[in-house]
A and B are shown apart, each in its own frame.
Chain A
């Protein structure tokens, strides 16, 4: 009801009449507004004389458009996506939260977090389950409840680190600073689970004290709080004369045995462990320890130092030994009869050896590799040709390892034949180029040090500092190429075959004109299963259906009191690792054959449980164009009364396909009425896939 100036006369005195709904100018009498809309609360008289207000409550985050206009018939059958998401989220939060025994306040807070997340579009590209779990964990942290991320991951069967990643991201985006986990929070929970009876409180107190001591001793930074709790509780239990084994504690605390033992050992290293129980309860030591990983690092450093000192000492000893050797050699030479004339030339043979010898002895002190020291050490015991060979070996090894240092070495003497095999065994199956390459690479070390990057902007390759010879060695010659090709072809035969088949298929389809560009997802068309009992139906379904990762097959086995095969989970749960599509199919076909027998029993029990849920089947399940070969072994086992040719192995299954189909069709007709109730159990377990497939078949 804006009071404005009149259009005609400019007068600002306007009369508003509520009863008529008019706005009239008082001076000139022109009507400015007619039928003014009124916004007031109206009341209506209901049955029994009760008056109630007219109107609806509309929530802030409900559907944007007004749901009811005029007549009031429901236009909103499908709500907006946002509302659906939130509703879905709320439901999941309540599900998960009740499993964790969170109270209503926590669940509401979690839902608020979830709303924030959705409004920031952080749910995009993330699994809903992960986001929900992260929201719940956020609440747990802010409230300080003793729930671990591990609990959540147990419930969802998701990797802890994936959940952790989501959680960290959400915490960062929502700017929620959750306080750090205090292991003391978990003590009451674990103590309760370990069943100490009346003394639970005392044991908890002791464990808390132990934990605080551990904190002072720097054992808790960077460690999982649950591991520390486990160690503290174990010790506390023993102190109060409760017998709790490591296994009990592990089951409750969810760390592995090795971790627990390690924590205990670390605690043992602290001075507090030396106190008696009474002393511990009374006295608190002042001294604090260093973190255990730090002390481990220090030990390593010390060991290295010791080694270096040892090496130095060895060198000294080496020097002494070589001195003695020199003396001995000179003595020997002097004592040897002098050869004159033609034989004088032969006497010089010893010289190159001497050279090498003396070189080895003078060069060894300069190289301080611990590897070489070991070798030289072993070598110092021999005073014959072997010694020289090994020294050369050591030199060459040292030369390789320290080639960058550019130690001065004479061109390697042609290695005596003895060294040949041992070199190869050390250097591995490298071609002979390696020994040559040493010299070249060492020379390169001196020459290659500069880099100029002017030309690289335009994309031209700057060849400065690149030795073509070396690059040549990176490329195999023809013969080697052929050998490698053969090897590679043999190695990757399967992959190549698949590629070829794929190409053939594409070529064929191109000829036919039915080639589709995008990769086709082969939808498996399964024949609807007909079985005489619910148990059989379930059995067959389990074979056909993709083995779900959400089913805990161990529980299924437990259902069977007669005892199914324990090997079931291993064969069934094995997901074939990222292999190409065809491999996957072939494996799955073989799997059900193995698991058939054991599944039969569990399936029958499951069937009995599901019977009350059975309802009538739709008729459209009859038609099918393809048969999965799996049915045939199932049919053979399930109904021995009906004769069907047993199918021996995997590949031949496909050939027997059409035959089996006819039989199956006949079987369908025979026992139609009895089967109808059972198939719907499949429907329940099989979910939506069946329905969709049936529809697809009809379209065809």
Chain B
């Protein structure tokens, strides 16, 4: 059975993680005391700063490395990162916006059918693994794309990959495989 290409699947991106460097040393205490939405964790040696506009949480290390999480698109991640850098600049540090890179994208998607996980795992033996004792979903890792897809029996998928394009490709890749092992819904 060939899957119809007319089906439009909604791939919703829920989280984008990006890193960048400011190329200068940051004094965490200053940031902690003068910033508004800031949590200082001296045990871990980092500062958490939360922005409201693109809803973003950033972990800032004193070496100047910053990890931004919580954005819902790559553009937003970049914008948030730049905003953050601007804030740090205003606090008095000589920041530069260097090496911005989106590291991870998490998306969810829902199939219009339920899936037989055991069959699916049997057919895709080494690439897919399913351990019901540990996790209710089957994990499918695509090495070429470096993407991981978690497949639940209800037909929902969560896909993680290094960028949005990879995620889309992964979903396309796996759709035919899932279509074969589907379970037609009754009600």
Interface set of A (CB-CB < 8 Å, partner B): 148-150, 160-161, 164, 167-168, 171-172, 175, 177, 180-181, 218, 220-226, 287-291, 293-295, 297-298, 441, 444, 451, 453, 456, 459-463, 465-466, 468, 470-476, 481, 484-485, 488, 492, 495, 578, 580
Contact = CB atoms under 8 A, between A and B. Distances in A.
Interface in B40-66: 40, 42-43, 51, 53
B134 to A, nearest CB: 4
Given A294-B154, A459-B96, A474 B35 contact: yes
Contacts of A222: 117, 132, 136-137, 152-153
Interface of B: 23, 32-37, 40, 42-43, 51, 53, 75, 78-79, 82-83, 85-87, 89-91, 95-98, 100, 114, 116-118, 121-122, 125-126, 129-134, 136-137, 152-155, 183, 185-187
Contacts of B37: 474
A492 B23 CA distance: 29
Given A290-B187, A294-B185, A475-B34, 10 more contacts: A161-B134, A164-B131, A164-B133, A168-B131, A222-B152, A287-B186, A456-B97, A456-B98, A461-B89, A466-B82
Most chain B CB atoms below 10 A, which of A444, A466, A474: A474
Contacts of A164: 131, 133-134
Nearest to B36: A474
Contacts, number: 142
Given A180-B118, A290-B187, A488 B36 contact: no
B54 to A, nearest CB: 10
A456 B20 CA distance: 11
A289 B89 CA distance: 60
Contacts of B122: 180
Most chain A CB atoms below 10 A, which of B95, B118, B131: B131
10 contacts: A218-B153, A288-B186, A294-B155, A295-B187, A444-B53, A456-B100, A459-B23, A459-B97, A466-B83, A474-B90
B160 to A, nearest CB: 17
Contacts of A168: 129, 131, 134
A293 B154 contact: yes
B28 to A, nearest CB: 12
Contacts of A492: 40, 42
Contact of B36 (A149, A177, A473, A578): A473
A291 B114 contact: yes
Given A177-B126, A224-B133, A465-B79, A488 B33 contact: yes
Nearest to A287: B186
A227 to B, nearest CB: 10
B133 A149 contact: yes
Contact of A223 (B75, B82, B136): B136
Given A177-B126, A472-B90, A289 B186 contact: yes
B134 A461 contact: no
Contacts of A287: 186
A471 B33 contact: no
Contact of B86 (A224, A456, A461): A461
B87 A471 contact: yes
B149 to A, nearest CB: 15
B185 A290 contact: yes
B129 to A, nearest CB: 6
Nearest to A180: B118
A116 to B, nearest CB: 16
Nearest to A478: B34
A175 B126 contact: yes
Contacts of B125: 177
Contacts of B32: 488
Contacts of A495: 42-43
A456 to B, nearest CB: 5
A470 B37 CA distance: 13
A472 B35 CA distance: 10
A224 B90 contact: no
A137 to B, nearest CB: 10
A473 B51 CA distance: 11
Contact of A221 (B33, B34, B118, B129): B118
